[in-house]
Every structure is written in C-alpha cells, then in structure tokens.
Amino acid sequence: MELEEYARIAAAEDEHWWYRSTRALMAQLLAPWLEARSPATTRILDAGCGPGGNGAWLATRGTVVGVDLAMEALEFVRARRPTTAPVRGGLTALPLADASFDMAVAITVLYSVPDDDGAVRELARVVRPGGAVLAVEPAFEALRRAHDRTVHGLRRYRRTGLTQLFEGAGLRVQRATYAYAFLAPPAAVLGLLERRHEPAAANARSDLERRPLDRLFRPLASRERQWLAKHDLPVGLSVAVLATRT
C-alpha cells in the first residue's frame, strides 16, 4: 500500500463511516466469542493491522496484538494505538506461536497478499481450538476500481472462493455473507466510468476522500446490519467469512 494511503487511513479510521460500520459488523459477528470469554484472559490478533484502527477497539475485550509487514503502518500503531502491541511480520509467516490466540481478524488484508492460501493457514495455526477467525474482504472482480490499485489489491473474492480458502486451511465456516449490498450498484457504475476514462482513473482519489457520503451511507449500513443479524446477503461490495478452528 502507498505510504500516503496509510496516512489517509490513520486520519479517517476513527470517524469514517466505513470503518465505524465495519467495526460494528465485526462486533456483531464475533459476539458469541467475545461474550463467552473474560477480557483478562483473551488474546486477539489483528492480522495485517495497518494503522491499527480496525482492531484497537477490541482492547476492551482482550489483549490485542497487531501484525503488519509495513514499518510505516506499525509506526502509526505505536503513535496512536497504545493498547495494541505492534509486531512486524508477514501473514504467510506469522512470528507467533501455535494456538496462542482466541480470535484473529483480517480486515481487507487477504486480497493484497500474493499467497492468500498460506495466509489463511497461518491464521488457522495461531488460533486455539474453538477460536474464531474473521475476514472481511472486497467482493466481485466486476466491482474492481482504481482504488484497488491505490491499495495494491490483487484480487476480489466471491463468497464461495473465500469459504473454500478457509475450509482448505482446516477451519469450519460458521458464517459467510456479503455486506454493503447498497454500495454494489454505485461501485459498478464508478468502475465502468473509470474504465472508460482510464488515464483519469489512474489518478483517481482515494475512497477515503469521499467524506460527504458519510451521512447517507452510515444509516444504510446500520439498517443492513439489522438484516444481517438473522439473514445473509446474496451480493455486496464486501464479503465476510467467520470460521472456527476445530
């Protein structure tokens, strides 16, 4: 990821609607595991933590360790997220002991890892039996946009493909659903416009700079989570998979 994008993420991740909504979705999906354990004994891995906002909120539910390969990202963690222990390492060779975490989260990370299969196997390795692994990743190659290049995204997933990655790592999938369905149509239109104007798309703004849309998207995401509490979605800009180690 470009250094400038880490700075944009660090500046936006506390207030931007997508980050706040994704943390709320994480809390909803992980609730059975978070509520069943004492924070005093719970260890949580934020894999590919970036500047740290996606996992820092979990510090009230346990001890959080953030792993990232980029020193720039870890500097933001040290400066802004004192409750997260920063560790440098790649997802395909985590510098962590076997079965040493109760939960692991990987939020928009696997899509930028060349060996995503190896990364999921590593997440499975470091989680204890009965522990949970949650990933939220960009969905559908047809929705690829210039922003994917900005964040060095290598792929987008369908639910079936991401589920197979988890099952191939020996994990038992408990939930697999799309999310942010209301964003899929506008993303498809934006992607089409960018492809028609390729030179301009190469210099497109980061999605984090589209802040005026917060007031529209935040309530839509809240209503969608109400649906997701009991149902899956057949389409969306993101795909979430929650699995456990047997």
Domain residue ranges of the chain, discontinuous segments joined by +: 3-245
Cα of 29 vs its chain's centroid, Å: 13
Mean pLDDT of 170-195: 91
84 vs 81, 90, 164, CA distance in Å? Answer: 6, 17, 31
Is the pLDDT reported for residue 208 higher than 70?
Answer: no
17: helix, strand or coil = helix
3-12, 124-133, 208-217, 229-238: segment of lowest average pLDDT: 208-217
Is the pLDDT reported for residue 121 higher than 80?
Answer: yes
How many other CB atoms are there within 10 angstroms of residue 169's CB atom? 19
In contact, 208 and 7? CB cutoff 8 Å: no
Is the pLDDT reported for residue 203 higher than 70?
Answer: no
End-to-end CA distance of the chain: 34
Mean pLDDT of 156-184: 98
- pLDDT tens digit sequence for 35-82: 999 999 999 999 999 999 999 999 999 999 999 999 999 999 999 999
Model confidence band, residue 200 (pLDDT cutoffs 50, 70, 90) = very low
- Cα separation, 69 vs 14, in Å, equals 22
Looking at residue 211, its pLDDT comes to 55
- pLDDT tens digit sequence for 81-93: 999 999 999 999 9
Tell me the pTM.
Answer: 0.91
Model confidence band, residue 206 (pLDDT cutoffs 50, 70, 90) = low
Q: Side by side, which strands form the sheet with 84-88?
A: 84-88, 63-68, 43-47, 101-107, 127-138, 238-245, 171-179
Q: Which CATH number fits domain 3-245: 3.40.50.150, 3.30.1050.10, 3.30.365.10, 3.30.565.10?
A: 3.40.50.150
